[in-house]
Structures are given as structure tokens and as C-alpha cells.
Structure 1
């Protein structure tokens, strides 16, 4: 069984590191007046946690290498993708953060500091499956872990393909004002979010082979809630309805919001 005090120690070190990083990011965001950079470093905090946990955990080495490789690759890809999206308009703050800045007024800098620190805390909470897996001393990779790895491969490439399809669509000037409904976007209005959630489901499945692995359900549960109810789908839908109301409303009527599915007839029927 993994030692509770050792897991808590690794989590504490990870939390301190993430909070320090987010403090520095907040100082930068304050200087350039763009809080959107927090999204980039939220993703890049996970590789930091990966390295800390790899060197401090005392689980089975091959398992550590496998899960650390998966976690590192996925979050570096997401971080680089977000960086490429944000770095092109550092002088233009994303709409949701611009709105928060207006609502908070003179308290904006203080509130953003608290917000950035909460992002650091969420990094550590979401890394629970990772802490559990790397502490597993069993010297045999189980079938559940292989299944988790297989689901992760599907999720990793699915999200990467969805992001690239959308980027290619937006790059074509003839698509201005249109809705991307080709490729994976034909089956879901947010396939990138779906595959991001599926990545966390893969970690949960992988963790089920470890002691206390069932606790790892917290990560995909939080991610699903955030993506579908808080920051992901709601913000994106609102923005698209503002920019292309007619086309996007039609898209909503025929296409699944999150889970990839067949087309509806526009009246909610398959």
C-alpha cells in the first residue's frame, strides 16, 4: 500500500511549485494586462508535477515511466497548443477575462491573483490519479493499465486531430462567418473538449489497478463538469452565437454538444 504521508508530501511540494509558478505568471499577466496566459500555464503546470512526482514517488519504475510519459506528452501538447493560440494576441485579452476585469474593476488584480492560485490548486487536485499510480509498488502491469493506455492513445490523437481541423478551417479566408462542421466537428460541436475529458478517463481507468485507484474518479468528474457547465462549452457556445448566430444555431440543432454522435434532423431527432 502507498504511504499516505509520502503521497501528501509529494502533493504539497507540487502545490508549492504550482503556486509559485502562478504567482510569477500573475505578475506577468498584470504587466501585459492579459489574464488569458493563465490557461497556458495551467496546462504547463502538469509537466512540473510530472517531474516532481517521478523523482519523489517510490512506485514500480516501468509503471512510472509509462504514466509519466503519457501525462507529460499530453499536457505539453495542450500547453504548446494554447501557447500558440494566446501568444499571437498578447495585446488582446480573451473575452471572458476581459469581462471579469470589467466586473471586478479596481479589485481586478487582486481577484486575478486569487483566481490564478485556485488554478494551481486545481492542478494538484486533478493530478490525484497520477499520485496514486506512481505510488503503486506492484511489479506487474495489469490489463486495466493497458486498457487505460489504449484509451489514452485514442484520446490524445483525437484531441490533436480536432484542434488541427479547427485551426485549418479558421485559416481558410473563405470560411469566415461559417461554422466548422467537417471531420470530427461533424459529430460533435466540441470534439476537442470530449477527447480532453477522455484523456482524464484514461488516467482513471489506469489508476483502478492501483490501491485507492477509485479515488481517481475525481479528475474526470471535475473535468467533465468544468468543460460542460462552467468554462468550456458554455463560453464557446456563447461566443459562437454572438459571432455567427444563424449558422451556429442551426449547427446546435443538428449536432451533439459534447459526445460524438450522429446528426439530428434539426428537431432533436436522429
Structure 2
């Protein structure tokens, strides 16, 4: 399969999956399921490109494993976190603001997320179709970055989940563990994850393209759907969060200000 055909078919399948999620939320009135399905779709794209790519077998195997496991872990975490819960504040806000056009706008919002997933997956695509063999050192470096990123994000998620489910911390600000050094360590490690595919693309004339997903993900989280909406809500709902913002790095883990 050519890179263009693999990319177009992958986008069509992800767009279809998110259209199904949109149809389900018409009945449930809860759009939160789009988050785990989006993550699973990203992992699917890594495996999809790995199967049909033309790179060396070991390169495609590493790509499929790294991307697939990452997407499976993140999607499963989000599914467990959201299951049985009220609609995420972000989507509830959109639904309220859109009013009578909520269903129409939500459909195209979901399709925009499919487009974002497709844009991010260009890193997977470049690796899957890179010419020649990947050096074992490059593969090892990619795996090392991936491990740091996925373990870091998993630890941050676990710390936050324990905090959220502990009755003694209800209404407090999470400033422990990794969250002492970054207001959003999960976002930082999520963005770092995308850097793991750069070493896998060494030797490809388009290897530099694998940096774009990391930059795009960081921008989306910091400027679009992540930090702005979440922190606007937390400042209003959590006493002490404004002070936490003043002393704690927003993204890169760093010692807090006194």
C-alpha cells in the first residue's frame, strides 16, 4: 500500500469511528467517550501504518508496538476514568454554549478531532515508510524516550487518580508527586512521547517531520483544548489553585517557586 493510500484509508477509518461515537452520544448526552476512542484510534493508526508500510520489518515492529501500546494504555485509562461519570466539563460547556446547534457542532468537532489524529499520525507514517534499515542504537534511543514518556505519564495519571478518589483531599489542589513540579506533568510526558519516533526516522529524508507531532500536541494542550479550559475551570472551583499556578511550572517539570 502506498503512503498516500495508507494515510487516506487510516483517516477514513478514524473519522468513521468518531462518527459512531457521535451517534452514541446523541442518546447518552455524554461526549466524554470521544477521548478514549480518539486515543485508541491513534494507536490503531500506528499499527495500521506498521502493517502496510515498506520500512524494514524490525522498524515497523517497534513502531507498531510503541504506538499501539501507548494508544491502548492512554485510551483505557481515559475509559476507566470517564465510565459512569457525568459529562466532562469541557463538553458540557460546549453543549450549553451551542444550544440548539449542539448536535450539529459536536459532529464536526469530533471530525476535527479525527483530522488532528491524522495530522499527528504523520510521525508514524514517516517511520513506517522510511528507506533502509534502522540502526539498533536509533531503535534503542526511541524505545528509551518512549519508556520515560509513557512511564512518566502513567505515574502522573495514577497519582492524580489516587488524589481524586481520596475523600480526605476533596476540594483541595493536587500539588504532590510529579504535580509538585508541573501543573500538567501528564501533558508534558504526552508531548514527549511523540519525540520517541524521531530516532526511528533517522535516515529518512522526511525524518524531521516526526518532530511536528510533538510540537502540535504541545500547542494543542497548552493553547487549545487542554490547559486554558481546564485551568479556567479550576481557578473558579478550587480555592488555592491561583496560588498553585503562581508557584508551579505549567508544563516542563521544574522546582516550584518559594
Give the CA deviation at 1:177: 1.7
Matched, 1:45 2:38: no
Matched, 1:185 2:179: yes
Instruction: After superposition, give the CA deviation of every residue in 1:204-260 in whole Å (9 maximum; x if it has no partner).
Output: 343244331111222111101111111111122122212213x11221121111100
Map 1:19-38 → 2, pairs under 5 A: 19-38=15-34
Map 1:1-270 → 2, pairs under 5 A: 6-89=2-85, 92-141=86-135, 143-245=137-239, 247-265=240-258
Instruction: After superposition, give the CA deviation of every residue in 1:116-142 in whole Å (9 maximum; x if it has no partner).
Output: 111111111101111111112322425
Instruction: After superposition, give the CA deviation of every residue in 1:44-87 in whole Å (9 maximum; x if it has no partner).
Output: 11122133212211210011111110111111100001101111
Q: Name the CA shift for 1:110/1:253 in 2 (closer, same or farther; >3 Å).
A: same
Structure 2 unaligned spans of 5+: none
Structure 1 unaligned spans of 5+: 266-270
Q: Distance in 2 between matches of 1:220 and 1:45?
A: 17
Q: Which deviates more, 7-16 or 230-239?
A: 230-239
Q: Which deviates more, 210-219 or 70-79?
A: 210-219
SS in 2 for 1:36: helix
Q: Name the CA shift for 1:205/1:227 in 2 (closer, same or farther; >3 Å).
A: farther
Give the conservation status (yes or no) of the 8 Å contact 1:10–1:56.
Answer: yes
TM-score, normalization by structure 1: 0.91
Give the conservation status (yes or no) of the 8 Å contact 2:181–2:248.
Answer: yes
Please identify runs of 4+ aligned residues in structure 1 that moved more than 6 A.
Answer: none
Q: Distance in 1 between matches of 2:89 and 2:72?
A: 25
